[in-house]
Amino acid sequence: MAKTNTLVMKFGGTSVGSLEGLAQVVKIVRQATRDWRQVVVVSSAFSKVTDALFESAQQAAQGNQVPFAQTLAMLTKRHHQALQHFAPTDKAQVLEELDVLIQNFQNLVQAIGVLGEGTPRALDAVVGLGECLAVRVIAAILSSQGIPAQAVDATQLIVSDNQFQASVPLMRPTQETANQVLVPLFKQGLVPVVTGFIAATAEGIPTTLGRGGSDYSAAILGVVLDADEIWIWTDVDGVMTADPRLAKDARTIPELSYREVSELAYFGARVLHPKTIRPVVEAGKILKVLNTFNPSHPGTIITDDLSEIDLRNENGQQGGIIKAVTAVRGVQLITVEGRGMLGVPGVAARIFSAVATTGATVPFITEASSEQSLCFAVPADMSDAVLTVLEKSLAHEIENRNIDRVWVSEEVVIVTAVCPQMRYRWGVAGKIFTALAESKVNVLAIAHGSSEVSISLVVNVSDLETTIQALHQLTINGQALAG
């Protein structure tokens, strides 16, 4: 594949949410423009802005305008402060653009307050304003520092369906619009600073790509522009072997396959948005995760599936038997059990068809080999709705005692250990469960299946830290296994 000498870089909210972070962004973009012919910057909203916008709209719908007033003051103060600090020459024009956006926010929230309802379409229009504010400030700052830049709203670039709050990009029209808008900017020697998170329907109605969707935005633009690499700038040194808050000896993983990082993203790793991976995988692009506040660190490179097992740590030394461990919190287990389920076709299909009507996601499923019980996890805030719909859907079987009961556990945690080519290596599962037994952790459920790279298990919330620390030791000093 020919090189286009194009780089797409995404900066997260913590990277742009402080004066220190913005100064780092300037340094990073300056160096990138020296090394790459075409550079695109994708930005999230300033840290905590999206949450504040969403809360303002939600509370306004309930008649509470206090969060709105607080957010209005915060938006003005933070964005004006950044401009004052870096003093761009076109500050007056940018301030005017910011004031228009803030006035739009005010109008939208007041309308939501009058209607007493925040529809998904209205909420998308509100929460996407954070990115629109951020890119105008960042572009002005870059230009003031000798890096000609132009703010671009992704509503002009990324065409999506009309599934508000979690829209799906339409890649072909997005490629056409991206080329129409961005290529002329490249020819003028400008760095496009593009809003993450937001998109628009073919009719121009604003949508969002789901929370954390700025990663997704960078991936989409990287693919449609045929960029050579996509860099995700965060506040940590790449993808870690575990959450540093739970495992103090967590380290950066220097290299991951797409499949491995997909498992980590799906099962709770906070570095990447799960949807980010798919377009990058399909296009065969290189994805890097880097630290805005430590840019000399090599971070994590994510590329095609690794052909050989590689458990080296960041110092190039051989590591343990697993590569990383991560966790999904805030879930509960729902169990459907009954001797009458044995050998009856279609029971599982009926169960999950019923669950689907609630909109609940199911990140974990396991079934007894005797078919007498089926257990799965759902978000804790959806468990009551799922239980209600199951009891209604299976009422006939419950009445006839084919199903004895449907019940919900207390809140639990799904812990996932990632190990490359697990199915071809002896003793990995044994090592994992031995480590947990030695730490006196009781495993409530297990899902392994045919995955080559991970094994998931459910533990009590009280055992989370112990579980993570026990398994993390296997990333450090686990005995070598035959491959």
- Tens of pLDDT, residue by residue over 454-472, are 899 999 999 999 999 999 9
The better pLDDT of the pair 339, 70 is held by 70
User: If pLDDT is split at 50, 70 and 90, which confidence band does 313 have?
Assistant: very low
Q: Quote the CA–CA distance of 358 and 383 in Å, as a whole number.
A: 10
How far apart CA 206 and CA 119 sit, in angstroms, is 13
- Closest Cα partner for 331 from 308, 364, 309, 306? 364
Q: Nearest CA to 358 among 321, 387, 401?
A: 387
165 vs 451, residue with greater confidence? 165
Residue 205 forms part of a structural domain: yes
> Do 358 and 220 share a structural domain?
no
Question: How far is 320 from 435, CA to CA, in rounded Å?
Answer: 13
DSSP 270: S
Q: What is the overall mean pLDDT for the chain?
A: 89
Closest among 220, 204, 216 to 172, alpha carbons compared: 220
- pLDDT of res. 320: 67
Q: What gap in Å lies between CA 237 and CA 239, rounded to an integer?
A: 7
Residues 201 and 330 both lie in one domain? no
The pLDDT score that the predictor gives to residue 465 is 96
Q: Is residue 256 part of a domain?
A: no
| More confident site: 270 or 82 | 82
CATH code: domain of residue 231: 3.40.1160.10
- The answer, yes or no, to whether residue 318 has pLDDT greater than 50, is no
The DSSP element (H or E) to which 39 belongs, if any, is strand 38-43
CA separation, residue 379 to residues 261, 328, 334, 371, 386 (Å)? 22, 10, 10, 24, 10
Flag whether pLDDT at 480 surpasses 50.
no
Average pLDDT over residues 25-45: 97
Last residue of a domain, one of 235, 257, 288: 235
Total count of residues recorded for the chain = 483
User: When comparing pLDDT for 312 and 274, which is higher?
Assistant: 274
- The pLDDT score that the predictor gives to residue 317 is 43
Of 172, 267, 268, 178, residue with least CA distance to 218: 178
Task: Tell me if 306 sits within 8 A of 420, measured CB to CB.
Answer: yes
Distance CA 358, CA 355 (A): 6
| pLDDT at res. 265 | 75
Residue 473 has pLDDT above 80, yes or no: yes
Q: What is the CATH number of the domain that holds 456?
A: 3.30.2130.10
Q: Are residues 29 and 126 in the same domain?
A: yes
Distance of alpha carbon 396 from alpha carbon 404, whole angstroms: 11
* 3-state SS assignment for residue 15: helix
Predicted confidence (pLDDT) per residue in 363-373, tens digit: 999 987 555 78
65 within domain boundaries: yes
Please give the Cα distance from 450 to 105 (Å, whole number).
48
Q: Is residue 447 one of the residues assigned to a domain? A: yes
Using CA atoms, how far apart are residues 456 and 415, in angstroms rounded to an integer? 6
CA distance 475 to 269: 16
pLDDT of residue 369: 59
Distance between CA 10 and CA 31 in Å, rounded?
15
Cα gap 465→323, rounded to integer Å? 18
Is the same domain home to 332 and 213? no
pLDDT for the residue numbered 141: 96
Q: How many CB atoms lie within 10 A of CB 359?
A: 10
Rounded Cα distance between 306 and 312, Å, is: 13
Phi, psi of 331 (to 5 degrees): -125, 160
Last residue of a domain, one of 235, 259, 282: 235
pLDDT confidence tier of residue 306, bands split at 50, 70 and 90: low
Residue 224 has pLDDT above 80, yes or no: yes
- Is the pLDDT assigned to residue 275 strictly greater than 50? yes
Where residue 2 falls among pLDDT bands split at 50, 70, 90?
low
Structural domain includes residue 434: yes
What are 379's strand-pairing partners?
331
Can you give the residue range of the structural domain that contains 88?
Answer: 6-235
- What is the H or E stretch that residue 234 is in? strand 229-234
Q: Give the SS3 label for residue 239.
A: coil
Q: Which residue has the higher pLDDT, 341 or 474?
A: 474
User: Is the distance from CB of 87 to CB of 54 less than 8 angstroms?
Assistant: no
Of the residues 235, 257, 277, the one at which a domain ends: 235
What is the CA 407 to chain-centroid distance, rounded?
30
pLDDT at residue 41 greater than cutoff 90? yes
Higher pLDDT residue, 317 or 19? Answer: 19
Q: Are strands 206-208 and 198-200 parallel, antiparallel or unpaired?
A: antiparallel
Angle ∠(205,211,214) on CA atoms, nearest 5: 80
- At position 301, the amino acid (one-letter code) is I
Residue 257 inside a domain? The answer is no
Q: Residue 262 domain-assigned? A: no
153 domain residue, yes or no:
yes
Instruction: Reply yes or no on whether the pLDDT at 249 is more than 50.
Output: yes
Structural domains of the chain, count: 2
Domain co-membership, 18 together with 127? yes
CA angle 29, 260, 375 (to 5 degrees): 130
Of 310 and 37, the one with more pLDDT: 37
409 by DSSP, 3-state: which?
strand
Tell how strand 38-43 and strand 6-11 pair up: parallel
Helices (H) and strands (E) in the chain, counts: 16, 16
Q: What is the pLDDT of residues 126-149, one digit of tens each?
A: 999 999 999 999 999 999 999 999
**Whole-number Å distance between alpha carbons of 323 and 325:** 7
| Whether residue 207 is found in the same domain as residue 354 | no
